[in-house]
Amino acid sequence: MVSDTKKQQARRIFQKRGQKHGGVMRTRDAMGRGIHPRTLYAMRDAGELQQVRRGCFRLADMPDIGNPDLVTATLAVPKGIICLISALSFHGIGTQIPRVVDVAVHKDTKRPRVDYPPIRIFWFTGDALTAGVQTHDLDGVSVKIYSPAKTVADCFKFRNRLGLDVAIEALREVRRNRLATVDELIEMAKICRVANIMRPYMEAMS
């Protein structure tokens, strides 16, 4: 039986955590702050905590996270960068609806074991990994997401997996809505080694 005092102490810790990280706390972090796992599970069973994924909890009465999948994916893969379809969706580009969270990681990164949300991993190296990274504060969590220009180039790079139509649509909308300059698109195309593939489509849209 977990006492009310222990629950109140745990609640205060979670509320303090709410100042950043969207109020989400991993079991090991909670234990490091003196919360026993038994307290976490008792609060979960009582509806006081939500289990956002295995080993991650947040107070049930906290405001909803605006971008729960991106925030949770970032907490699960701290060195990952949101890319491709997920990045398109974040930037409001195209009509694709993400069914998984696309995350770019260094090629030497071990595939993360994540139960939720479903994550699709893409391995990058060198400038293709580090170029065009933006950091956005989502519900107190610093989430790394590729810029519109980098995302378009990535879509052309992975056109065989995503479909060429997805890449062309993304390029068209980025140009039409002026989400990136021609120079930015060319720079990212060169980094992703798809400049020769993108050039005819860019010229046709000029």
Least confident of 52-61, 146-155, 195-204: 52-61
d(C-alpha 84, C-alpha 82), whole Å: 7
Q: Can you state the angle between helices 182-191 and 148-157, rounded to 10 degrees?
A: 40
d(C-alpha 109, C-alpha 103), whole Å: 12
Q: What is the pLDDT of residues 157-175, one digit of tens each?
A: 999 999 999 999 999 999 9
Q: What is the pLDDT of residues 179-191, one digit of tens each?
A: 999 999 999 999 9
The domain ranges of the chain are 4-59, 68-204
Tell which residue, 120, 117, 108, has the closest CA to residue 81: 120
